[in-house]
Structure formats: structure tokens, C-alpha cells
Amino acid sequence: MGRRVAIVGAGQTYHKSARKDVNGQELIHEAVSRALEDAELAIEEIDGVVIGNMDHFEGINYVDCWSIDGSGGYLKPVIKLCTGGTTGTTLAIGGYHMVASGMFDRLLVIGWEKNSESDTTGAIVTATDPILDRGVMAGALAGLAIEASEYAAAYGATPRDAARVSVRDRRHACNNPYAHLRKEVTIEEVLSSPPISDPLRLLDMCPRTDGACAVVYASEEVAEKICPRPAWVVATANRHSYSRFADVMGQTGMLSLTVAAKELWRKTGIREPLKEIDVVELYQPYSWAGLIWIEDLGFCKKGEGPKLIWDGVTDMGGECPFNPSGGVLSSNPIGATGLIRCAEIAHQIQGKAGARQVPDVQLGLATGFGGCWWSDLILFSKKKPA
Amino acid sequence: MTEKKDHEAELLTVHSRTDVEQVYRYSAGRYLSRFLVELRDHARIVGVKCPKCGTVYVPPKQVCDPCYVEMTEPVEVSKEGTIRNFTILRAAFVDPETGETRPVPYAFGNVQLDGAGSLLQNYIVADDESKIRVGARVRLEFRQERTGNIRDIKCFRLLE
Amino acid sequence: MERVAIVGMGQTKIEASKESVNYPELVYEAVRLALEDAGVGIEEIDNVITTSNDFWDGRTISCMPVGGVSGGYDKNISCVEGDGTFGAFYGACRILSGSYGTTLVTAHSKGSESRQIAHLITNAAFDPIHARCLGLDMVTACALQARKYMHTYGITEEECALVAVKNHGNAFANPNAQWPLKITVEDVMKSPRVADPLKELDISPISDGACCLILASEARAKKFRKKPVWLKGVSFCADAYQLGDRNLAECKALEKAAEKAYRMAGIRDPRREIDVAEICDAFTYQELLWTEGLGFCARGQGGKLVASGATARDGDIPVNPSGGLLSGHPVIAAGMYRIIEAARQIRGEAGEMQVKEKVRTALAHGVNGLCGQSHCVWILGSD
């Protein structure tokens, strides 16, 4: 059997819409320095680097090679993983396997994106099939708008319900010094913000952000030696159910998330996620996902998402806070976004989350989402898994 | 650009720009070539059916993912269908393919053509925007001049 | 520690242009062949890793279209962006971590779709701030490396040409090779100059091809019909990024990766203990340089090595009996094709390419980045 693995340190940059003060390698270096400091390790002690971003956003080919100056990967094993929006969590899952395999003892995992350096829409368009979809485009957000409209038609949820999610996350972000957007919004402000793609408005959506995140994974033996409270990886599950946008069959909700969640709960023996999980960092690129995907995850029944939100269950101080960091609605450096979810959960478990700390976290869930309707899940715990 | 091989179906190559300088030449492959040729020559929509689960995929592809079997049976589907989901774009963006901005507002969505299991996406056009709903009926509209490209389909027109 | 074996493999023929299929269809062909080879159905596969590159495919999230055809619909699946040897490495980790018993790994290249802008694709590997506008691409950058290497050690263009003669000649024995050629050193020397000192016949073509490996844990490997090919050692390593930060006449990263892989496999004298090597000869001079990095000869002796005939199919350290990349280069899939050719040798299934009856240890190699910045070395064994 493989070894147990934990996150022993994490760091991220101060996320902004344009980090003009640094180039890509310097952005990466900022996150790496913070992660090493947090883990109390020197770069010489790192025995491998795993890195990811979405190529076309920066227009750089062979990023694993290009990033050496910032990642510290000089004369070390360096490998790149990329699965679109899920890249950050894909990296987190990859880091786990590579250490659990025995191939690495102290692995540096980096996710980053410098969205300001490109035309985001232009880059996202090439995610679509060149023969079928590119000639009939409606931009990156139409797909999400479509999911929301389907959900609203099925369960009667309203833009007001979704707006409550934005209000929650933007309020949470005020506790997070690294967040890109750190200003609260009200329901009315969300409902009157400029319409993008029905039913979505500007304040339902995540921003475009420059940022990087780095996390240090250690094997069991090393983790226990160097880290007072490692954040242990309990289990992971993922699904990339669709090979083409055209295959989305029109089910309400996120198929890949529903299936991956079922696998995760089965593997870990968790029956009532809402009761048993202490905190969730949900990769939630837009407000409605905060209603739909908590149902798909099994935190409540289908159609009951809004009630959970309005009851304050997912607010700080609630039974199971979601996105204490402010989530993706507050910062979205795409290649890093999924990894930030993991870094945040790790710090929650380690008690290092400062003003956004949820008390006494035993189990924390990080999720990843990709624009091709993909889902990744990782469960972390304070207690070392059996 | 097309290439004929003996008695085999016509194979197409589709040009797609990712930016002004970089032009890729994508092979449509047998399945999509047939779909595009039917579209071009006959304004017909031809999908493919999975022998195991019976799902009809429009547009067609080689493998049914859930069943993991190759699909070979072509199936023509109706030009009419039902809106399964949609959105109305109100913020303009520059289409990287054309460099143009499509005037807003415009509707866009996924339609299940009668006889198909998967959804086809395209623009939805209606005289009265408020009549566009999930469950509404639409019909495909084709261009007069067709070249074997997905844009040969002009839009879904709402059946009032 | 757990062991991992290759229990199934499939590759499409490497071709200049396979216009009848799109790249997911190409991958499906390779997967089908691998499943047939392994004698199992897709249900025996526990998880999937795909390997691709957004620039070469002209597609952001280039892994999206190949997930389904790789059998990934209802499985845990991930993607490596880089050479196939790296993808296969992650696939092996997923088994060694104890999470899965089998992994299916795919890699593909539809180079024909982007061949006319290949120079832009590799130009994009250069630093956008201070290097890209100078217009270097992979070919011109490698021309710089070739010049530096030749200047440092006195390697000659004729010695490099011997690689082209050998490998194109070897390709006649490989039914999957794109470009078998009967040529002489003079033919290579007379071929048009592309970027001095590189001539047309010093440079590999850009091809279409997809391949697939099925990996299994030791416990599961028993269930497959063919004798397992064991992973004995694997390592990878990246050199500095800026060309100016490196001594291009050396390959430190390869030396380090090889050293670690040899240690894992218990190899002390690679020249003697390795029966056959399949390495990435994207350019003729690179085969010479990599044989030095792999320790088959001393630094600077790569030219003498090939001239001695030692790396011929019947030499004492055969290199690229399959014809190598010079005979067909599906970018990204390249390293995985090397793994498959090396594994074939161990299985004794290499047909006319077979270097000897009993191949105990084989080496496969993959490369990422400019001028071989990052290398991955695989050591495979018969037991």
C-alpha cells in the first residue's frame, strides 16, 4: 500500500486583477517562497516540482520548463499537469499520488495564472471543438448561464437566492488578506449589477485574477518530523464525464460532481456530509453553483440548496461554513484556484487561517471545477488516516 | 479544402483561427465529415446511434463514452426540437474567430432535436424574446449557401 | 515497495498525415490495440491518464476530447502536459500510491494539423518578454546547440549524418515507422541547409500518431495474458530554462535523471548492462549528445560511438533499432512510443527490430522543452 501523505505548508500571492509588478516567474516565486517559509523548508530540501496553469492564458508553451526560474526546479524533477479549470485540484491530487508512491518525500506543487496577460475569452474559446462549437460561440459564461436557467426552471430558485451566495462569499473575503475582491456586496447590488447572460449578472460571477499558490506535500515520515499539525489527505475522487460540450445531456445539476461525490463518500464512509464535514472550500465560479452544487455534493436534497443558504448554515459561524476564504467569487487565478482551495483547507486544519479560521476543524473538503463540466474532490483531515 | 478517397465519404478540413497568425487545419474525421457533408448538400442532420444504450448523438462521434463502444449506425433526426436550456447574452464580447462583436442581446442554447439524445447548441432567434423558454419548440434554419461548416446552420428559430 | 509492469501496449502507425481521423479517433485506435494486446476489456482499467499539449493541438484543455475514448467516462482521470514518458510516470505513481491496480495511459500527436505553424508553436516556448520576438524556434535553437556541441568536442557533421543513415535504415524493419530511407552520409550532407549546421535530413519530421500503455501492479499483472515488462527505474530532471544559463554542449539534466534511474534499477555499467535503448533523436546531433548523457560513452565521444558501429542494431549498445524520431516524430507521444519499442524488445516481439533473443534490460527516453531541457529516463526489465 502507498504511504500516507500530508500538506505541511502552503503559500499564495496577494491576488489582483493585474499584478503588473511581477512577471510570471516572479509571481510563482512569491507563492513558492511563502509556502517554503510556512513549511519551514529550504528549496534544497524539495525533491520535485509539479506545476500547472492553462497554457493559452499566458501563451507560453512548455511551462514546466519555462517556470524553473520561479519554481526553484533547477536540476530537479519537474512535471506539468493541466486539466483546464480543475488544474489546481488536479495538481493537488497529482501531488498526493506522487508522494504516496514513494517517488518523492517533499514535493512542491504550484498552480498559477496571469490572466491579465491575455484575452481570457480568446483563450477559453479554444477549449471548444474547432469543428462543432467554435463557429457558434457565446463566450465562456454562456455555459454557466445555461446551467442556472435549467436549475431555475426545475426548482424555482431565483436570482435572489443566488445573490445571497455572492453576499456570503464577498463578506467572507473581507477576512482574507490575499483575496482579490475584498469589498462586501448587498443583495440589491447583485440584482442590479449589469446583466451578462441571463440569468447571470456581473456580481454573480468570479473575477479574472493574477495569482499563484504553492503547497508542500510530505510523506508520512517526513511530515510527522517537520510539521506540528499536518493536513492529511484522506481520499480523492474525480470525474471528467464530458468529452464534448455537445454531450451535456441536459440533466439538471453537475453530473461529474454528483458521481465523484458518491465515490468519495463511499470510500470514506461518510453518510451525512453536512454533519460530518467541518468546512468546505467549494470551487464555485458563479453564485448559482453555490445552490446547485451543494445539492450535487449531497449536503442537502435536490432543490433545497436555497434553504440551506438562507438559513445561514454555510456562513461563518454556521454548521458548515463554505468558502471562508471568500472563494472563487473573490479570487480566480484559474490555474491556482483549485490549489488555493486545498491550501485554505490545509490552513484551516492547521489552525493557521487567521481571521477566517473555522473553530476546531477535523475534516475539510476542497473541490475543483473545470469549464468542461469536470469535478475533482479532495478530503483532508487533522487526524492521520488509518 | 476537401479530399476524396476512392468511393469513401468526402473528408473535410476545417480552418479555425486562434489568433490572426495561427491557423490550424483540423481533420473532421469520418463521423463529422459525414455530418457536415449532409448539412452542406442536403440541409439534413445525421447523427449516430449507440448499439448498446440506443442514445442518438447529434453531432455524431465515434465512441459512446458511457458504454465505450464504437457507433456506426447513422440516424437522421428531425430539424425541429425542444429547448432544454438557454441564456440571453447581454454583454458583448469579441468573437476571436471573426474579430467581430455579435450585437446584443441574443439568445443561445441547447436544443434536443426530435430523435436525438444529445443536445445541439446554436443561436436561438425569436421575434419576442420573452417567449424563449425551456421546453419551447424550435426549428433549424439553414443558410442558402452552405460550405460544410457548422455555420451552415443559421440558428434555431422559435416556433411561435 | 510495490512493483509496476507494462501489461498492454498499442500504437498507431506513425504517418505524415492521417486526415481521415481527428485526434480522439486516433487515440481510440491506440487504446483498442492496447486492450487487444492486453487481452482485457475497458472494465479492467481502474483509472486513466492522458498526455497532450495545448499548443500542438490548438486547443485549450487539450485533454478534454480524449477522455472518453480513453475509457475515462466514469473513472478517475487526469492529464499530464508534456512528453509521453512523463504521462506514463504519473500513471505508474497512481498504482504505486496504492490507489489503483491498473492505469491506462495515452499520448497523441496530430502534428499534421499544426505543421505549418510548428515554428510558432515552438517559438511560444521562448520567454515572451525578452526572447520570443527574436524569432527562434525549436529548429533554430537546436541549431545553436548543435554548433556549440560540435565546436566543443570536434564532433563533425558527418558523424551526425551517420545517425540519420542508421536510423532511417533501421526503420525498414519497423512496420509502424513513417520514413524508412536508404541513404548515405553524402545524401545527408547534400540535403538542403535549414539552419546551419542542421540540414533537412538532420531533422525529424512532425508526424501523426497515438499510443497507449496499460500499467498494472504486481498483483494485477498476473491476470494479463502476456509476460509483464517491469519498471525497474525511472527518473526525470529539468535543466535551467534560459539557453544562456546552460552549457548546451552538455546535458546535466539527462545525466542526473539517468543516474537516478540506474541507481533504482541497480545498474552500474549502463554500456554493458543495457541491451537496447530507444531515445529521442529529434535531431541527429541529439542522439550523440544523449548517448553521452546516458553514460554509453564519455563526454564528447558520441561521434566516435556512432562511427564505431556500437549503436547499430547488431552493435553492443543498439540505439533506436525502431528508426527513432528521425523516421517519424509524433510530438508529445514520442517518449511513449520509445517505451513501447523498448518493451517490445523485452517481450521478444520486436520482429526484425529484435536486437537479440533475450533482452533483459531496455532503456526508453523522453524529452520536454527547448534543446532537451527536461529529460525522463525509463529502465525496463524482463524480471
B85-137 pLDDT per residue, tens:
888 888 877 776 677 777 888 898 889 999 999 888 889 999 998 999 889 99
Neighbour-count burial for C293-324, b at 16+ CB within 10 Å, e otherwise: bbbbbeebbbbebbeeebbbbebebbbbbbbb
Q: Which of C193, C196, C206, C83 lies closest to C145, judged by CA?
A: C196
CA distance C353 to C348: 10
Residue A65, domain extent = 5-120+209-226
What residue in B sits closest to A122 (Cα-Cα)?
A: B96
Q: Do A83 and C78 lie within an 8 Å CB cutoff?
A: yes
Q: Span A135-161, mean pLDDT?
A: 85
Q: Looking at CA atoms only, how far is residue B52 from chain C in angstroms?
A: 15
Distances (CA, A) of A272 to A170, A171, A297, A320: 27, 27, 11, 12
3 state DSSP class of A172: helix
Nearest to B66 among C25, C28, C74 (CB): C74
CA distance C334 to C86: 11
Please indicate, yes or no, whether residues A175 and A252 belong to a single structural domain of this protein: yes
Q: Do A73 and C238 lie within an 8 Å CB cutoff?
A: yes
Nearby residues of C276 by Cβ (< 8 Å), 6 or more positions away: C318, C319, C321, C342, C345, C355, C359, C362, C363
Q: How many domains does chain A have?
A: 2
β pairing state of C229-238 and C4-11: antiparallel
A160 shares contact with chain B (CB less than 8 Å) = no
A98 shares contact with chain C (CB less than 8 Å) = yes
Please indicate, yes or no, whether residues A342 and A360 belong to a single structural domain of this protein: yes
Give chain C's mean pLDDT: 95
The answer to whether residue A386 is domain-embedded is no
Q: Do A101 and C92 lie within an 8 Å CB cutoff?
A: yes
Task: Give the best residue of A136, A147, A151, A373 to mutate against chain B (max B CB count within 10 A).
Answer: A136
Please indicate, yes or no, whether residues A133 and A103 belong to a single structural domain of this protein: no
Please indicate, yes or no, whether residues A310 and A341 belong to a single structural domain of this protein: yes
3 state DSSP class of A99: helix
Cell matching residue A299: 449536503
C247 shares contact with chain A (CB less than 8 Å) = no
Please indicate, yes or no, whether residues A297 and A328 belong to a single structural domain of this protein: yes
3 state DSSP class of C107: strand
Of A193, A226, A259, which residue constitutes the final position of a domain?
A226
The answer to whether residue A148 is domain-embedded is yes
3 state DSSP class of C260: helix
Task: Give the best residue of C137, C241, C368, C375 to mutate against chain A (max A CB count within 10 A).
Answer: C241
What angle is formed at CA C210 by the lines to CA C11 and CA C380, rounded to 5 degrees? 55
Query: Residue B1: pLDDT band by 50, 70, 90 thresholds?
Result: very low
- Tell me B27's DSSP state: E
Please indicate, yes or no, whether residues A306 and A179 belong to a single structural domain of this protein: yes
Q: What is the pTM of this model?
A: 0.93
β pairing state of A106-114 and A48-52: parallel
Task: Give the best residue of A26, A91, A105, A240 to mutate against chain C (max C CB count within 10 A).
Answer: A240
Please indicate, yes or no, whether residues A59 and A142 belong to a single structural domain of this protein: no
pLDDT one-digit tens code per residue, C237-250: 999 999 989 999 99
Beta bridge partners of B80: B139
What residue in B sits closest to A137 (Cα-Cα)?
A: B95
What region, left, alpha or beta, does residue A92 occupy, with left being phi > 0 and alpha being psi -120 to 50 degrees? alpha
Neighbour-count burial for B50-61, b at 16+ CB within 10 Å, e otherwise: beeeebbbbbbb
| One-letter amino acid of B55 | T
Cell matching residue C157: 557533421
Residue B63, domain extent = 2-158
ipTM of this complex: 0.96
pLDDT one-digit tens code per residue, C21-45: 999 999 999 999 999 999 999 999 9
What residue in C sits closest to B34 (Cα-Cα)?
A: C20
Q: Which of C8, C91, C359, C76 lies closest to A89, judged by CA?
A: C76
Nearby residues of C61 by Cβ (< 8 Å), 6 or more positions away: A54, A82, A83, A84, A127, A370, A371, A372, C54
- Tell me B116's DSSP state: -
Please indicate, yes or no, whether residues A359 and A215 belong to a single structural domain of this protein: no
CATH number (domain holding residue A71) = 3.40.47.10
Q: How many domains does chain B have?
A: 1
Please indicate, yes or no, whether residues A352 and A258 belong to a single structural domain of this protein: yes
For residues C102 and C214, the answer to whether their CB atoms sit within 8 Å is yes
pLDDT beyond 60 at B21 = no
What is the pLDDT, as a whole number, of residue B5?
A: 44
The answer to whether residue A63 is domain-embedded is yes
Nearest to B27 among C67, C113, C117 (CB): C113
User: Chain A contacts of B149, Cβ < 8 Å?
Assistant: 135
Please indicate, yes or no, whether residues A16 and A92 belong to a single structural domain of this protein: yes
What is the pLDDT, as a whole number, of residue A138?
A: 65
Q: Which of C374, C323, C329 lies closest to C344, judged by CA?
A: C323
What is the pLDDT, as a whole number, of residue B18?
A: 42
CB-facing half-sphere around the CA of B58: CA atoms within 13 A: 27
How far is it between the farthest Cα atoms of chain C? 56
Nearest to C68 among B22, B25, B63 (CB): B63
Please indicate, yes or no, whether residues A187 and A214 belong to a single structural domain of this protein: no
B61 shares contact with chain C (CB less than 8 Å) = yes
CA distance B83 to B121: 10
A259 shares contact with chain C (CB less than 8 Å) = yes
CA distance C353 to C367: 23
Cell matching residue C229: 515488462
B 68-107 → C contacts, CB under 8 A: 68, 70
Q: Looking at CA atoms only, how far is residue B111 from chain C in angstroms?
A: 21
pLDDT one-digit tens code per residue, A364-379: 999 999 878 899 999 9
For residues A166 and A287, the answer to whether their CB atoms sit within 8 Å is yes
Please indicate, yes or no, whether residues A90 and A34 belong to a single structural domain of this protein: yes
| Domains in chain C with CATH codes | 4-115+207-221 (3.40.47.10)
CA distance A70 to A62: 14
For residues A64 and A123, the answer to whether their CB atoms sit within 8 Å is no
